[in-house]
Amino acid sequence: MSDFAHAWVGLAVLVGLPALGCSRGASSTVPRGSMANATPCEGSQVIATDVNEDGRVDIEHVERNGRRFCTKADMNFDGKVDVERFYEGDGVQVAKERHDFDFDGRLDQLSFFQAGQLVRKELDTNFDNTIDTWLWCDGGWVVRAERDRQRDGKVDVWEVYEQGFITEAKYDDDNNGRVEKWDSFRGGKLVLTQYDENGDGEPDRSQDMPLQSMGQAEDALRCESGK
């Protein structure tokens, strides 16, 4: 059972503490480059729980208009919020999650749900408080990805997936807003690379990948919350 699951079990058996406010941590500020709104986890009533009985709040359920609006959790018991979960209007179904994986008080991943299914993720993969990877999901698999390799706030890689396996990728290597390179994949292996050498936006040189040079196939890329 995960730490978060243990925390939820603890919440069920421990006595709720009175409202202690929602000021802990800085996780309500989304990273640069995020498509999301910086919605704070705040409400009219807070049910707080000290899971490990160290005198500090570890889980807070925040309510608005009598329904659960969001939940905040301190997973490593350092006094900072590491996970925030927001709910739909019914107070049950998850709408979005925000994670701080390196426990520095800044968000590293944002996950978005529709009808209880994960549909999109935003990631700060090098923990510099800037989103550099955007993933779109369907049925638990990544179906599309965009990446900012230059970390300058501009998308320069576009990828398409089928059942989690990459099928094509486009690259803006010159960082001029235009694609100069295309990769094609089969079964997770690179089979063809094309280049635009005259700058007209169309591939004009192709390079097939020899079978012996293909290497191992890339693993299928799953789309999971909290990972």
pLDDT digits (tens, 9 = 90+) for 9-45: 333 332 333 333 334 544 457 888 898 888 899 999 9
Q: Residue 219 — pLDDT band, cuts 50, 70, 90?
A: confident
Q: Are residues 96 and 144 in the same domain?
A: no
What is the C-alpha to C-alpha distance for residues 129 and 103, in angstroms, rounded to an integer? 12
Q: Are residues 142 and 226 in the same domain?
A: yes
Rg of the chain over all Cα atoms, to the nearest angstrom: 21
Statement: residue 187 has pLDDT above 70: yes
Q: pLDDT, tens digit, for every residue of 117-150?
A: 999 999 999 999 999 999 999 999 999 999 999 9
Residue 113 lies in a domain: no
Residue 199 lies in a domain: yes
The whole domain housing 12 covers 1-100
- Count the neighbouring beta carbons within 10 Å of the beta carbon of residue 149: 15
- Count the neighbouring beta carbons within 10 Å of the beta carbon of residue 214: 15
Q: Are residues 148 and 91 in the same domain?
A: no
Q: pLDDT, tens digit, for every residue of 65-121?
A: 999 999 999 999 998 999 999 999 999 999 999 999 999 989 999 999 999 999 999
DSSP state of 97: E
Q: Which residues of 65-94 are buried (b: 16+ CB within 10 A; e: fewer)?
A: eeebbbbbbbbeeeebbbbbbbbbeeeeeb
What is the C-alpha to C-alpha distance for residues 35 and 75, in angstroms, rounded to an integer? 26
Residue 121 lies in a domain: no
| Cross-strand partners of 32 | 130
Angle at 6 (CA atoms; ends 18, 124), nearest 5 degrees: 90
Residue 216 lies in a domain: yes
Residue 160 lies in a domain: yes
* Pairing relationship of beta strands 67-73 and 83-87 according to DSSP bridges: antiparallel
Q: Are residues 52 and 140 in the same domain?
A: no
Residue 112 lies in a domain: no
Domain count, the chain: 2
Q: Residue 5 — pLDDT band, cuts 50, 70, 90?
A: very low
Task: Report pTM.
Answer: 0.81
Residue 197 lies in a domain: yes
Residue 114 lies in a domain: no
Q: Are residues 144 and 95 in the same domain?
A: no
